[in-house]
Structure formats: structure tokens, C-alpha cells
Structure 1
Amino acid sequence: MSSTTSSEHSKAPTVGGYARKLSIKPKPSITIHINNYYRSKVYTTGSEITGHVAINPQTDVRFDSLQIVLLGTTKTRVDAVSVPQSTAHTFLKLTMPIPESSYPVPRVFEAGMNYTLPFTFVIPSTLTLNACSHHVANSSVQEHHTRLPPTVGSWEKDDFAPNMSRVQYAIKARVYRDEDSGSGVVSEKILEAMREIRVLPAAPEDPPLNVNKYDDLYTMSKSKTLRRTIISPRAGRVTVTAQQPGAAMLSPDGQTATSTAVPLDLAFEPAAGSGDVQPPRITAVSSKITAVTYFSAVGVNHYPNLRNSRRSFGSEGRGSYSGTTSASTGPVGTIRWDRQFTAQARRDSGYGSEGPSSSSESDPMVPKKRKDSTESPIVYTARVRVPVQVPAQKKAFVPTFHSCIASRVYVLWLTVSLSSGGATAHVTLGVPLQIGVRGSSGSSDGDRAASELPPSFQEVEEADEADEFWRPRVLGVPAVQFDRSSAVGAGGLPGYADLDFRRRTVAAH
């Protein structure tokens, strides 16, 4: 009796049993395969991405259309006081059209069969004007907004990116079925696959920024008093002024970066009555790099790193995030000081009282006379170059960029230690550091050469073919068919030589 009861209970359905049955129900499979792809693969301007979409249904799947796209999307999140704001901006959409003749008849993916469809995309050099449709301050801002931004937030090494700002490139494959909703036909997505890729587009070196006193992110010049101790008399006053260095250029894969050098103009004014004080020598120079990421819930119409950036990006709907790492500096070398007489000394001596060439007031390296002190009769000036190496082996640096809702800029901090007769001073400057990406000099793993950098917005605007250049580009319909093969047998891809690829679609919404 008990044996029978036990047997009956073992045959009774259970919730767990239903769960196990549902979990083993076969599901259609769709995957994206990229040729010559590996984990650390990086694509750049002109890189060709080839591969195929594989569909392996376990049951018959009726469908109406299939779409393969390369998407570039910027996503931001601003934790505002009232409510968090999340924004997604699709700045790039390359679509590979599939001709009607390529679909199987009837449009059913049959169980036990393998279906493959090849694709090819090329990373473009620029976006169309549709990628930036909001109001901007000038054409320079729009030109930057129509450049491809780099991947942000998906690198193997730390790229200083906050969770509130991401730039993602991905290949997506979608299968749709049309359903009658009563009020019309609605396309229902029944299958989808995504494969994320990393993109580091070529970024040319831009002209130096026009930094002024309102640009509170940078400190281009600073003066300090040389003293032995806090209470000891001052030995003099030194002024250090930095010029913007050339861009540090990343390799197309981002693994290495060229060094750069910061020109420093030094001016030393000995204290009046301090005797024969010698100009200081540089005892040490240290450097670090701060990466500043700006993000916004709405389109930004200016360069966020200029003017009162901290105030504007501290408001609701906008934010910024910074991360700092140390950098290495090379030897400065021996300073060669030039001795000059001040304007007052020239007038007192009776020489050079006329004409601009006789006065050191026109020399920007000579400190201006301070009303609260007695002017020294002489001033020493010098120029040095400080070599700096970006630590690309430790961090994942992306190029300086400005897009519609996200930007990345870099500040190079230099701390210069000076000493003269036991008197010391430490001067810290914050200099704009531009990071670019060299164009690829050749092709490998199917990548196209990208040695030529994209034309500037002004050049395209002035060209006779401007309208043609900015017209949305359409991918020519390839002569391609689904390759249908048995799941047991060996499948294959259609020959790529048969594909007639012309221009690619670049659209944004």
C-alpha cells in the first residue's frame, strides 16, 4: 500500500518538474561571428569589419525581415537633484541592406538547418551633419561633434571613465515578425544578437586652445617668492609661464603614445637690496595627468573645458568626473639665463628712454612692476623644455574629443621646484594636454589603410562637392543569399568576391 502511494506521488507533476520541462525547451539560436577577432582587438578609422550572422533554429521560426547594423551610441546618466536623467544618443548607424531575393521562400527558418549571412562594415572617417542636429555656438564645435568619438568605458585597462558616461560600438542582428495588432501591422523582434567592438578613431592634432583667465580648468602662469624660511627675507620672485605642448599621439591600437614637451618661460626678479642673488636652478620637475570627462543630459553647445566650466557643469542636467595618474618627465638640462635691465633701470641710467625697443616692458617674459614693492634693476629670463611621457602602458588613454553629450579632455600638471642660495619655491601649473590618434599606416587582419585624416568641417564646407560629401551614404545592395545547410553537414559562407559594396549608410537619430 505504501509502495503504491509512493509510486503515485513520484508520478505526480510538481512545480519544479514543470520548470525543468520549460527550461529544456529548444530556443532559436542567433550569433554574430567576426573574422580575425580577438579580445584586445581595436578598430580605427578605415578598419574593415567582416563576419557573418549564424542562425541555428531548433524549431521552425516564421519571420518577415532581418537587419544587420553597426551602431555607435553615447549614453549618459546625470543624478540630478530632482530625478536621475538618462540619455542615449545614436550618432552612427551603418545598415547593411538585404535584398528581397536573398530571403528563403517561404520565410521560415527550418529546424535543424544552419543559416548564415555575411556582412561587411567600414569605420567611417566622419559623421554626417545629422549626427549633431542641436544648436551649437559655432562651426568649430559642430566640426568636433561630427567626428567619431572613441569607445569609452569598455577597455581592459582603466580609461578614467565614470559609470555616468559611456560610448559603445556594437554590431547587432535582429529578426522581425510582422504581427497584426488590430490597429495596424507591428514588427515584433523575435531574435536578437549583439557583439560589442572597441573603436579608436584617428584623431588629428588640433590648434592650441586660446586659454584666458576665465578658463578655470587651467593655470598657465604662476609667480612665487623665493625664501629660505617663512619668516626670512625674500630673495626674489620667480614667474613660470607654460606654453601648450604638442599633442601626444596614440598608436592606432592605443598601446603606445609619443612623448611631448612643455615649453616653460622662466623670469626671476631679485629682491631689491638682496645683494648679488643668482637666478635659481631647477632642482626637480614632477608631472601628473588628470582626465576630465564631461557628460550632459542635453546637447552641449560649447566646449565644456573652457570658460567657467566647473560652474556650468555643476548645474542640474550636467556633470563631470576626473581621474589622475602620474606621468614621467625627462631631464630638463642646464638653464641658460639672460640678464636684462628693467625699464626703470634704463630710465635712471639715461639710456633707452625713447622707443619701444629700449624698454623691457614689451617683453612678456619680464615681470610687470608691482605697486607694493620696489622694482629690481635687473631681471633674468630663460626658456626650458620639459619632456613628458604619457603612461599608455598603465592606463587606457582615449583621444581628446567633444561629442554632443560627452567630452574628454586632459590637464597636464607640472610642479617645478626651484632653488637659489638656499631659498626655494614650488610652482604648479595646469596645462591643456591634447591626446590624438595616428592614422593606420597599413592594413592587417582585413583592416583598411587610414593614413589620411578626415578633412575639417571648414574644408568640406568650402569644397565644391560639399553637398555631395554630406549627403547620406547608402550601402549598395549586395548579391547575397542565405546559405542554407544541414546542421550536421559542413556549412559555408557565400564568396565575398561576389559582394558589391559601395558606400555605407551613416545616419543618426
Structure 2
Amino acid sequence: MSSITSSEHSKAPTLGGYARRLSIKPKPSITIHINNHYRSKVYTTGDEVSGYVAINPQTDVRFDTLQIALLGTAKTRVDAVNIPQATAHTFLKLIMPIPESSYPVPRVFEAGMNYTVPFTFVIPSTLTLGACSHHVANESIQEHHVRLPPTVGSWEKDDFAPNMSRVQYVIKARAYRDEESGVSTKIIEAGREIRVLPAAPEDPPLNITKHDDLYTMSKSKTLRRTILSPKSGRVTITAQQPGAAMMSPDGQTITSTTVPLDLEFEPASGDTPAPKVTGVSSKITAVTYFSAVGINHYPNLKNWRRSFGSEGRGSYSGTASASTGSAGAVQWTRQLTAQARRDSGYGSEGPSSSSSDTDHSGNRVTAALKKRKGEAASPIVHTARLRVPVQVPATKKTFVPTFHSCIASRVYVLWLTVSLSCGGGGTAHVTLGVPLQIGVTGATAVSSEDRNAELPPSFQEFEEAEADEYWRPRVLGLPSVEFDRSGAGAGAPPGYADLEYRRRTVAAH
């Protein structure tokens, strides 16, 4: 059985009469110790966080309630036009239950004693629906908002996080005293921050349209051999969304991903050869969105510059170079355009021709050329498919998984620049911006029906009214996180042992 234990220690020296004249009372010492913890340790979904709280009072400290909790808090600051707004949203609150029978009688931490209070928490796989109580556009957005966001802004390496957006997980220990006025006063407090990378599954591809300004899925460019020469044709490159780059639960490694690219070249004349692809380079932009109020849509879609340029919202971006592997030799395929096939009587379902004029459809191509002689557009089109492997640079930067929470989001844009040689010294570069999702392995799907069933009782007691309190913008300062005292004495989650106070006196030093 876990227990709260205590032992006697020597009293700290004072400054003699000077300290007595000023009536200086030493503050009680309280620290949090986490088992098997080290500075760079990362916790993920299902991990156990256990340890003990050590209390070493130098004077008798009367208290009424002791609470130990694991808190997840998102904090944002928006420098609005009129006045800065700072908001804190506590999305996670796990309270370690301490039975009433375990408290000492009387409830006093005695001077010269060392008290230890054990605790155990488990990182949950999801939040309750009460953690997202504001209006959202659809169920998909709320499903994202009740996922655990990763730690943001507290990593050893740069994680592209601005000072205006932070996500923190902290173990808090506090002792309260009930005053005669009915107000509870906090008398001692300690906190210990931990880093969390919750499991994040791969999501379906986004429905990108021309109105989603953050991304550029397709782009066309006119090619010329030299600046003064007439155009040799027009190339169009279209990207497909790549699969997610999956991160290990400790954040040390990230898998590579592959981006499919479809190339189409419309030559100015039928005898103009297709351009040569000389290389592909890439970089990744991390975009962090933050707001003083609950976000009701996906901030990376639509016109994000306009929607997030208003008062109370903001965004921040940072870019890092990525490693691009070899896409292999480009094999162009030459075929008739749809219009040329109709003019020549060659059905659209027929076989396409290669770049060579000696293939089985060469005669039909020649006939189409003669029929369309004198027209500006060529009946020939060249197509090719590239598969570009990209590696996220996890050694130089910290990449947190893609997430959308109530007041903060993080998304990534993968920029691909395709370099083309037009012959005669002419070169061209076409840049696309595609959405890149970064996930964390180990994710499991959890249905909304099972969400509350698997959570410990103290976690189920998260009240929507209290969540609303954290939506209220604060002026010129972040609000302090207050404990939900109604959770004290609640039923323990599975694996939590009963606690009791025990005293053990040893000889003084």
C-alpha cells in the first residue's frame, strides 16, 4: 500500500537576532520527484508518470487539503490593435485522489519532519468532450480538438514555436488552508514540467481547393531557350498529397515520405522536345496558429492571411531545409491532346505514344500535325510522373506532430522546387507547396462512445463551466491555473493505490 511517510530532519540555521527582530518565517520546502525521469525524457500516450512529492517544513504548517494533479495547458498571447490579450486553456486535468482517511489528525505538517506523498498518472489517449465546449463548424474539427496536443515551446532544440503560443504539461502539488471567510488559501506549491508527444495517427488527405491560399498544388510556367527567344512551350506540374511522416514516440526519428508529381509539357510546335528535369529541392515551413478565443475551423484552409489578420488571432512561420532523395530518370511520354484525337479520329481510349516517332501511333501523330498545320497550339503533349522522396531534418530541429487544438494549431507545408532545362542554356524553376502531416506512431482509434468510459473518474469531472473560464481573454498577463478542488477524494483511476499518512521519527542531526 502506498503511503505518505515522514521523518525528522535538522532545522535550518537562522540569522540570529536579526531574523527574530524581523519575524522572518522560513517557507516550507516542497519538491516533486519523478521516477526514472531525466531532462530530455519524452512521454507519450499510455506512459506512466509516477513519483512522489517531498514536503520539508521548517515550521508547523496547518493545512486542510493537499492536491496533486497533472495539468495540460495551452497559452496564447495576441498583440491586438487595441490591447494585448493573453488566454490560457486547461484542456487536461488529472487529479490524484487522496482519501479523507489518509490525512493526519490534526492536519499539520510538523516542523523537522520530511513528508513524502506518492503519485501516479497515465497519459490518456484522448480528452473528454468537455475540454472543447465552444462552437465548431463540424464534428471533424471537434474530434481534432479533443486530441492531446504535443508540448510546444519547451524543447531543447528549436521547435518553430513563437512566444505567443505555448502548450505545457505540468505536475502540480499544492496545499490549501480553509479560512474563516470561506476562501481557501494556497500555502505551499510546487510544479514540474514534463514533455509529451501523444500518439497521432495519419489523417485522410485534405480537400485542397484554389481558395486554400496556404498551399499550391499545381503551377504552370512558360519555357524559353533564352530570354529573347520565342517560347518553346508550357509546363504544368501537379503534386499529390504525400503520406504522413511518422515520428517515433521519443521524437528522435521521423520516417521519410514520398511526393508524387505529375508533369505535363505542351510544346509550342510538334517537334519541340520535352524539357529535362535537372533537380528537385525541398524545404519545410512550420506554421503555428494561435487565437485568444476558440477556433471553430481549420485555420490552414481558406484565406488564412485574411482570417488570421484580424484582431484576436495570429500566425507565425519558420522554415528549414529538407533532404530530397533522387527521383530517378524522367521518362517522358508523348501523346496527342484530346482535341487532336478527336480531329484525327483517334479515340481517347487508344494507346498513347512514346517520345520517339517510331512507335505504332506515329502515323496518326503525323496526320494530326498536318491537319492542324498553321494553328498556334501543338496537338502533342508530353507527360511524366516523378516520385520525390523527402526526409524531414529531425536532427537540427524539433518537429512536433501536426495538431489542431482549441486556441492553437500547427501545420506544415512542404515546398518542392523542380528545376528544368529548356536547352540552349535556358532554365526554369517551378515551386509547389503541399500539405505535410507529421504524426506519432502508436496511435489507436478511440470512438466517442468509449472516450469517457476509459478515463479515470477524476478526469471525467472536468466541467464545461470551468473550461469556459479559460476562454476569457486576460489583459497584459497570463492567468494562473487554479485547481479544481471538487476532485479531491474522488474515486481512483485503475492502478491507483489507497494512500495513508504515516509518521516515523528519527534522531536529529
> Smaller-chain TM-score range?
0.7 to 0.9
Identical-residue share of aligned pairs (%): 77
| TM-superposition CA deviations, 1:330-371 (whole Å, max 9, x none) | 01111111111012322332333xxx64699xxxxxxxxxxx
Q: Is the 8 A contact 1:114 1:484 kept in 2?
A: no
Deviation at 1:27?
Answer: 2.0
Q: How do 1:97-112 and structure 2 match up within 5 A?
A: 97-112=97-112
| Partner AA of 1:435 in structure 2 | I
Contact (CA 8 Å) 1:112, 1:486: kept in 2 or not?
no
- Per the alignment, residue 242 of structure 1 pairs with 239
Whether contact under 8 Å (1:342, 1:359) holds in the other structure is no
SS in 2 for 1:51: strand
Q: Give the structure 2 partner of residue 454 of structure 1.
A: 445
Give the Cα separation in 2 of the matches to 1:486 and 1:21. Answer: 31
Q: What's 2:394 paired with?
A: 392
Please show how residues 434-473 of structure 1 align to structure 2 within 5 Å: 434-439=437-442, 453-455=444-446, 460-461=447-448, 468=453, 472=460
Query: 2:91, 2:241 → 1: CA distance?
Result: 31
- In the alignment, is the contact (CA less than 8 A) between 1:46 and 1:123 conserved in 2? yes
Q: What amino acid sits opposite 2:237 in the alignment?
A: V
Q: Deviations over 1:53-83 (max 9, x none)?
A: 1111111111111000000000000000001
Change (3 A) 1:32 1:466: closer
Structure-2 residue corresponding to 1:232: 229
Q: Which amino acid aligns with 2:396?
A: K
Q: Which residue of 2 aligns with 1:365?
A: none
Does the C-alpha gap of structure 1 residues 38 and 377 become closer, same or farther in structure 2, counting only changes over 3 Å? same
Q: What amino acid does structure 1 have at the position aligned with 2:72?
A: G
Alignment of 1:56-67 (within 5 A): 56-67=56-67
AA aligned to 2:238 is: T
AA matched with 1:297: A
Secondary structure (helix, strand or coil) at the match of 2:196 reads coil
Partner in structure 2 of residue 338 of structure 1: 333
The answer (yes or no) to whether the contact 2:128–2:452 under 8 Å persists in 1 is no
Could you report, residue by residue, the CA deviation over 1:278-324 in whole angstroms, capped at 9, with x for unpaired residues? 21221111111000000000001000000111110010000000000
CA contact (8 A) 2:127 2:451 kept: no
Structure 2 unaligned blocks of 5 or more:
1-16, 353-374, 462-490
Whichever residue aligns with residue 282 of structure 1, its letter is V
Distance in 2 between the 1:23 and 1:168 partners?
A: 38
Query: What is the one-letter code of the residue matched to 1:153?
Result: G
CA contact (8 A) 2:30 2:55 kept: yes
> Shift of the alpha carbon at 1:188?
0.5
Q: Secondary structure at the match of 1:211?
A: coil
Mapped partners of 1:113, 1:466: distance in 2: 42
The alpha-carbon distance between structure 1 residues 208 and 37, as it changes in their structure 2 partners (threshold 3 A), is: same
Give the whole-Å Cα distance in 2 for the aligned partners of 1:487 and 1:233: 95
User: SS of 1:198's equivalent?
Assistant: strand
Provide the secondary structure at the position in 2 that maps to 1:144: helix
Question: In the aligned structure 1, how far is the partner of 2:271 from the partner of 2:320?
Answer: 41
Please, which runs of 5 or more residues in structure 1 have no aligned partner? Answer: 1-16, 361-372, 440-451, 491-509
Structure 2 residue aligned with 1:148: 148
1:328 aligns with 2:328: no
Superposed CA deviations along residues 128-182 of structure 1, whole A, max 9, x for unmatched, are 000000000000000000000000000000000000000000000000111112x
Which has the higher mean CA deviation after the structures are superposed, 151-160 or 417-426?
417-426
- The Cα shift of 1:486 comes to 4.0
Does structure 1 retain, via aligned residues, the 8 Å contact 2:412–2:436? yes
Could you tell me whether the CA contact under 8 Å between 1:278 and 1:421 is conserved in 2? no
CA deviation vs aligned residue, 1:178-227 (integer Å, no higher than 9, x gap): 1112xxx1110000000000000000000010000000000000011111
Query: Residues 46 and 285 from structure 1, CA distance in 2 versus in 1: closer, same or farther, beyond 3 angstroms?
Result: same
| 2:35–2:50 CA contact under 8 A, matched in 1 | yes
Contact 2:422 2:428 in 1 (8 A): no
Q: Which residue of 1 aligns with 2:367?
A: none
Q: 1:23 to 1:78 in 2, by over 3 A?
A: farther
Whole-Å Cα distance in 1 between the matches of residues 241 and 342 of structure 2?
35
- 2:128, 2:451 within 8 Å by CA — same for their partners in 1? no
Is 1:206 the counterpart of 2:203 in the alignment? Answer: yes
Q: In 1, Cα distance between the equivalents of 2:225 and 2:201?
A: 46
Determine which of 428, 432, 443 is the counterpart of 1:429: 432
CA contact (8 A) 2:71 2:170 kept: yes
Structure-1 residue corresponding to 2:298: 303
Correspondence for 2:126:
126
Check if 1:269 corresponds to 2:286. no
Superposition pairs for residues 400-411 of structure 1, below 5 Å?
400-411=402-413
**Structure 1 runs, 4 residues or longer, greater than 6 Å off:** none
Distance in 2 separating the partners of 1:94 and 1:454: 21
User: What residue in structure 2 maps to residue 216 of structure 1?
Assistant: 213
**Partner Cα distance (1:167, 1:73) in 2:** 6
Matches of 1:154 and 1:431, distance apart in 2: 28
In structure 1, the partner of 2:13 is none
Secondary structure of 2:433's aligned partner: strand
Q: Distance in 1 between matches of 2:42 and 2:49?
A: 11
1:370-381 counterparts in 2 under 5 A? 374-381=376-383
Question: What's the CA shift for 1:484?
Answer: 2.9
